[in-house]
Amino acid sequence: MTSCRYVLLTLLVVGCASAAPPPNEPAHGHGATGDGAPTPPMADVRPTSDRYHGEEVVDAYQWLEEWENPDVRAWSAGQNRYARHVLEGLGSRDAIRERVTEILSAPTRSHRHLSARGGKLFAIERRPPREQPMLVVMDSPDAPDEARILLDPQILSQDGHVAIDWYVPSHGGDLVAVSLSEGGSERGDVHVYDVASGERVHEVVPHVQNGTAGGDVAWLPDDSGFFYTRYLREGDTHANDDDFYQQLWFHALGTEAAEDRYELGRDLPRIAEIQLDLQVSTGRLLATVQKGDGGEFAMFLRERDGAWRQFSSFDDGAVQATFGARDDLYVISRHEHPRGRLLRLPVGRRMDLARAEEVIAEGPDSLVNDFWGGPTVWPMGGRLYALYQTGGPSELRVFDARGQALDPVEQPDVSAVRALAPMGDALLFRVESFVAPSTWMKVSAEGDVTPTALREASPVDVGGWEVRREMATSRDGTQVPVNILMPRGLTLDGSHPCIVSGYGGYGVNIQPRFNPMRAPYLDAGVVYAIANLRGGAEFGEEWHDAGRLVHKQNVFDDFAAAVNHMVERGYTSHERVGIIGGSNGGLLMGATMVQRPDIARVVVSFVGIYDMLRVELSANGAFNVTEFGTVQDAAHYRARRAYSPYHNVREGTAYPATLFLTGANDPRVEPWHSRKMTARLQAANGSEQPILLRTSDTSGHGLDTSLSEEIEESTDGLAFLFHHLGVTP
């Protein structure tokens, strides 16, 4: 997520008012200027039209959605050749690549996704220069040097194109179920490994994981089999829709997957996403189902005898449940309490959320819900530990069993608690900040907090970094937090290059995170700002709602306010601003540059969404409907048409230098978004600034990217930014 330095751009064929190819040049060919410098292959205009609520929308580049079309592949290959010519010609690229390689390949270790089972502690360990993170097992968090590698994906694929999506150890700690996928596809089959030998055992269960609805496994108490999420297979109803209709099935070890037993899901929405949790002492199974990606949940409980009952629906405001004692559940509810409160629900014949006991009332900060990250409330030793959002930073707070606040857990200023992991009678939590790498801390049953040996070393010197947190004023007066990293003692005279990034969607909280790849920026005198935009849930569900559906424009207004704040406070000028974002943050980049083409000099946008009228026709786009809305609704259509980046590019407008990056195997955002946006901008651009498209054939949305691929992507991004901001690395 970075950018670059010098390039031959003098006679690029950009800025023409029409998408028609120049005379004597193939419509999707690779041309050259008179001095031999290549030009981008201009895309044919092949108009198609769609009608929405009585309005006809002409789409000149809809044909670029068809990846199997040889013309599309030829055009994409030409764009890659052009991008490589430009990027390889940047004068400081070699020096930048050396620095990027030094940072990303530094032999530092980090541990994520901890899970304690059977007296063993499992973790995903990143250990450069290995291409992919590994699954390791150790005796305790104080003995990481004695950890044993259980599964190294590089053994399965030397080039790093096989990755671990997730893993779930059995309760006894003797077996572990691992989802493995290839090429960034996130389409994973579950393999079972024997912990003692490290060998794969038992049968493979296919297509448990997908980039659309994810996947999960929950072992039986006796570890003889597991419940798992299953996508449709040949012979199922809707089998052609195998990115949808996630269901819950059971697999007994030692049997073929074809013999597995259906459990739940045939009546769930097409865009259901299921997460599982099993209580060993009772054998009860909790299935939490999200409807798409907009934050609506339903919850089901299975008794050990196989009986299922639903105790929460998509419209009742319950967003997370956690097993408490033997016969109760703790439920985070946002019904009429957008910042969340904690309820205790007895598990009995009648489970009525309306009669649940309030344990922790709604407060000024937001009780965190993290569907993919696991429980954010944990009962232990007569105490309740709960994660709270304070507008970006987060805190671990402690309550007694009646919900009375106890002494807070100490942690650094402007930091984040990013994960909880129970281990026997202790609780592990990971904390980090913008300037401090992550450390796993341990809370004992008595409430004592001590650091463990699971701590990440920094490959860069952060002694000269300063962190500030300020508030920008958005167009409607909303105060938007801006986190600013800068070289210590910088004079605010408006002269400094500055990077601004943001996200603003899906209720995702953008928390303080240590990222050593910010060192090349700060070491070169660049200011780096991260905004907490509406659309996240940093201030609860109201903050999320204010940035989704018909209110999405607020996100773009907030981001523009953050950039303007950096200029008005003297950190930088618009001529020295670069903006970066990916995925939903790529939508943010696209909308910002077409609404305010003068706001930044350079844009780097990763795996972004740009065509808001056709996005829901793709697999993962359908899951986004609960977040973005649907063009079938007139109000949603009008809102989306008004900000859709692709549809708001204007002929002859001087757009900033832009680098789009996408992965051919992306299961979350179709690469055609980047192709269409590139074609449209190259045809309309009224400036001489380059519009580049970089497509990787061996990656996806970025979650499973190999180390060597990450180094190349980061080098290209950083070099592109540095060149256009006039920064010497």
pLDDT in tens, 90-109: 989 999 999 999 999 999 99
Burial of 408 (0-12, 13-18, 19+ CB in 10 A): exposed
Residue 551: pLDDT over 50: yes
237 pLDDT band, cuts 50/70/90, is confident
pLDDT of residue 186: 93
Q: What is the C-alpha to C-alpha distance for residues 17 and 29, in angstroms, rounded to an integer? A: 19
pLDDT of residue 37: 58
HSE, side-chain direction, 13 A CA sphere, residue 63: 18
Tokens 């994520």 map to which residue? 112
Whether the predicted pLDDT of 152 surpasses 90:
yes
Closest CA to 372 of 263, 204, 515, 229: 229
Mean predicted confidence (pLDDT) in 179-198: 96
Does 447 or 72 have the greater pLDDT score?
72
pLDDT at residue 1, as a whole number: 28
24 pLDDT above the threshold of 60: no
Tens digits of residue pLDDT in 460-502: 999 999 999 999 999 999 999 999 999 999 999 999 999 999 9
CA 275/CA 290 separation, integer angstroms? 8
8 Å CB contact between 102 and 714: no
Measuring CA to CA, which residue among 675, 645, 650 is closest to residue 661?
Answer: 675
Dihedral of CA atoms 81, 99, 1, 556 in degrees, nearest 10, equals -120
Q: What is the CATH number of domain 48-102+460-725?
A: 3.40.50.1820
What pLDDT, on the 0 to 100 scale, is given for residue 236? 78
- Where residue 16 falls among pLDDT bands split at 50, 70, 90? very low
pLDDT recorded at residue 20: 28
| 3-state SS record for 610-653 | CCCCCHHHCHHHHHCHHHHCCCCCHHHHHHHHHHCCHHHCCCCC
Check pLDDT > 80 for residue 28: no
Angle at 113 between CA 112 and CA 117, to 5 degrees: 130
Radius of gyration over every alpha carbon of the chain, rounded to an integer in angstroms:
25
Spatial strand order of the sheet with 188-194 comes to 162-169, 175-182, 188-194, 200-209
Lowest mean pLDDT segment, chosen from 24-38, 198-212, 215-229, 412-426:
24-38
- Which carries the bigger pLDDT value, residue 375 or residue 247? 247
DSSP secondary structure letter of residue 509: -
723: which residues sit within 8 A by CB, 6+ positions away?
3, 4, 5, 6, 7, 90, 91, 92
> How high is the pLDDT of residue 612?
98
The side-by-side arrangement of strands in the sheet containing 217-219 is 217-219, 225-230, 247-252, 261-264
Model pLDDT for residues 331-369, shown as the tens digit of each residue: 999 999 999 999 999 998 889 999 999 999 999 999 999
Question: What are phi and psi for residue 602, nearest 5 degrees?
Answer: -150, 145
CA distances from 666 to 2, 214, 240 (A): 19, 14, 19
Query: Looking at per-residue confidence, does 43 or 22 come out higher?
Result: 43
Q: How confident is the model at residue 18 (pLDDT cuts 50, 70, 90)?
A: very low
pLDDT, position 239: 67
Share of the chain above pLDDT 70, in %: 95
CA distances from 427 to 218, 367, 376 (A): 21, 18, 12
| Cα 238 from Cα 246, distance rounded (Å) | 11
Interatomic CA distance for residues 112 and 197, integer angstroms? 23
pLDDT in tens, 623-651: 999 999 999 999 999 999 999 999 999 99
Give the residue among 512, 419, 392, 350 at the shortest CA–CA distance from 124. Answer: 419
253-308: pLDDT as tens digits: 999 999 999 999 999 999 999 999 999 999 999 999 999 999 999 999 999 999 99
Question: Terminus-to-terminus CA distance in the chain, angstroms?
Answer: 16
Q: In this predicted model, what pLDDT tens digit does every residue of 661-711 receive, in sequence order?
A: 999 888 899 999 999 999 999 999 999 999 999 999 888 898 788 999 999
